[in-house]
A = this chain, B = another copy of it.
């Protein structure tokens, strides 16, 4: 939250204005697809408002969540950078306000602003670190452990604090959570059941309320 009404992201206000002259504003409806895996990638989308889910689907139909893009983030920048087809599918989770920039215009923008290039390098570096951490997380601990870890993560990033200040409400379905931790919906549901039995959270339709963050944090790193 910058409080400026302008997404924080990796650009300053001035730079955003420059990019805006090169792009075309566009709105996406909730659940609308921005692009699909395998398509040629001829444009970058800068998210101004709303969240975008980036995921891939395995041959067996399981969805794997790669990232949630927020205001200030770029979507589809990889294809613009290397010219290869989309490696994932992007879907708007909510109504999304965006700026669509063609790949050539984007490359030109980058080459003309070396300091922006360096900042873009930083965001890509962060993505690599994130992806590597996902690889480790996925191999560490059982599903209950991974669910707890992911919930704590999400709570820190997206949770809306309310009530006494220790409660955190997450708005997400169990399907999405399952894709995050790399498990089935059933296994995730059971893991939530175990955590619920401990009294650390409550569940409802499209909502998870964390009532004991410290305990969840402990469980997230426990060997068993």
On A, residues with C-beta under 8 Å from B are: 56, 58-60, 62, 64, 66, 77-78, 81-82, 84, 87-88, 107, 110-111, 114-115, 117-118, 120-122, 124-129, 131-136, 138-140, 182, 221, 223
Contact = CB atoms under 8 A, between A and B. Distances in A.
Contact of A56 (B121, B126, B136, B221): B136
Most B CB contacts (10 A, CB to CB) among A78, A88, A107, A110 go to A78
22 contacts: A58-B136, A58-B139, A58-B140, A60-B140, A64-B136, A78-B125, A78-B129, A81-B118, A82-B125, A87-B129, A87-B132, A87-B133, A107-B118, A110-B118, A111-B114, A117-B118, A117-B121, A121-B121, A124-B124, A135-B138, A135-B182, A139-B182
Query: 6 closest A-B pairs (Cβ-Cβ)?
Result: A131-B131, A124-B124, A117-B117, A81-B125, A78-B125, A82-B125
A42 to B, nearest CB: 15
Contact of A114 (B114, B127, B128, B223): B114
Contacts of A59: 140, 221, 223
Contacts of A138: 135, 138
A82 B135 contact: no
Contacts of A124: 121, 124-125, 128
